[in-house]
Each structure stands twice: as C-alpha cells, then as structure tokens.
Amino acid sequence: MLTTTFLNKSFENPLVLASGIMGVTAASMKNVIENGAGGVTVKSLSLTPRTGHPNPTQMGTTNYYINAVGLSNPGVEAGVEELKLFKTVCEAPLIGSVFAGTPDEFAAVSERICAAPIDFLEIDVSCPNVSREFGDPFAYSIPAIEMITKKVKAVTNVPVIMKLSPNAWNIVDIAKAAETAGADAITAVNTVSGMAIDVRARRPILHNKQGGISGPALFPIALKCVYDIFQAVKIPIIGTGGVTTGEDALAMIMAGATLIGVGSAIYYGGVEVFKTMTDEMERIMKEEGIKSLDEIRGAAH
C-alpha cells in the first residue's frame, strides 16, 4: 500500500529521515530504518570538518522546533566511511547530502561523497551561505542554482536532488531553474528563519541568536511550497517540513510530493514516529478506499 518508487528506486514506504536529524553514523541511520523509515538522508557533509555553533543550539516547544547547530559534521572523508558501513548493514535507500560555500566547492564535495555507495545526492543550497560570485544567498539566486546544479551533475554518478529554502520569495523559479540545469529532483523545503527569546533573561535563547524553524509551525509553509513547485516542474519532490503525523504525510502527497522527509517529528514522537505515521497513513487510506499513493499524488490540484 505504501510502496513508493522514486527515481527508479523502490522504497518500502515514502518516509525518509531528513538531513541533519540523526547525525552521520551508520548505527544511527540503521536504527531509523529498523524503526520504520523507508530511507535515510545523512546529515550534510562539507569538504572539511566543522564544529558548528556554540551551545545552546536548539530548543523545542509544542508548536515549533528551532536550531542553529551550524552544520557541524566530521567532513566528507570521514562521512564516506560511515556511509560505506551503513550499506554493509542495511539495504535501505541512502541519500547523501552536502553543502559548500562556492559552486566549485559544491562540485568538489559532491565528487568525493560519490566514493560512497549512495543512491541519491541532496545538495543543500538553502543554508545561509553567501557566494562572492553572486552576492546573494544561493537559495535565492537563479544563476547560482543553475551553476551549482550543472557543476554537481558534471562530477556525480547518482541522481541529484536540490534542497530549496522556504525563505526564497522565488522558490518556484528556483525549482524550475534547477530542473532546467539538470536536477533530477527537488527537496522542498529546508527550515525557515526564526528566533526565540527568553523573556526573563531578556536575550535570544540560541547562542547564534537566530535559527531555523521546523516542526508543526513549518508544515503549512512547506505544504504550499510543494504544491506550488509541483505545478511548475516535472521532476519528483521530497516534501519536507513539519510533517509529524500520517495525515500530514498524506497531505504532502496530495500536494505533489513523492517522498516525505521526516525530521523534527522525532523530537515530538521519538524514533518510533516512523512506524506511528505509516500505521496512521494505512488506516486513513483504508477508510478512504485508497489502494496506493499513486492514486492521490497531486490530488489536491
């Protein structure tokens, strides 16, 4: 009932671990699969190791989760070894993920991560990096997206997924530019910029002051982004952002998503949230007489 084909690869269900949630280790990603995820995305890797931001870096409320971890990671060389290990202990689809500060650096880190047996490669152009070439954040710049997509496609041997930002006022145009430049899929979306303030301390809670908002507050924003992008491109979409229930996941599919990224839901429901969500999806589908997800993909249009 929930089996999904994404870029010619079969997933037992459409729920995939979103990047940045459970780290880089093979053991943590295998644990997610054992708890019901259909696939996993590794935490984004950079060309060299990064320590990220000082604590506090994250907090959550009933309505939202905010983080400014700062893209901490062990670097692509160490990450590749964990990805290789994962594939020796788990056959589930594996999405690599990278970020960089310039188009050439995106190409370099993308080429190196392909030394691992990843099935797809997600390119995080939606973190707040500013390129000297364009003077704008990559996620808002059509020329930057086109250049990065072309450079990455030229050096990789797996399908390329461009991860976009909900902060971009022109996200549909960005998605179209990525498709035209050769992207195989879109992830929509990353977190939206926000802030939390401790009224007693009279200062922002995060050391970085601002951070990325995920959780339930992001869901309607992400849903509209998926809906709008689906109308504009022919390549598949990984709908990501605030999905915490099976009903949310089905709504994302009706908006046009093929896979569903699940991240902050683990904060609210534990790693077993994947099984909870797929059970709810199947229950609703049976109640509504839906035999497969293909029947309802894009049905809200």
Question: Taking a C-beta distance cutoff of 8 angstroms, is the pair 197, 204 a contact?
Answer: yes
CB 45 within 8 A of CB 105: no
CA-CA distances (angstroms) from residue 171 to 123, 134, 207, 209, 275? 15, 17, 29, 25, 32
Q: Which of 90, 114, 127, 225 is catalytic?
A: 127
198 φ/ψ angles, rounded to the nearest 5 degrees = -85, 110
Determine how β-strand 160-164 pairs with β-strand 210-214.
unpaired
Any catalytic annotation for residue 90? Answer: no
Distance CA 35, CA 32 (A): 5
- Give CA–CA dist 72/79, Å, rounded: 12
Which two tokens mark 155?
């050096």
Active site residues: 127
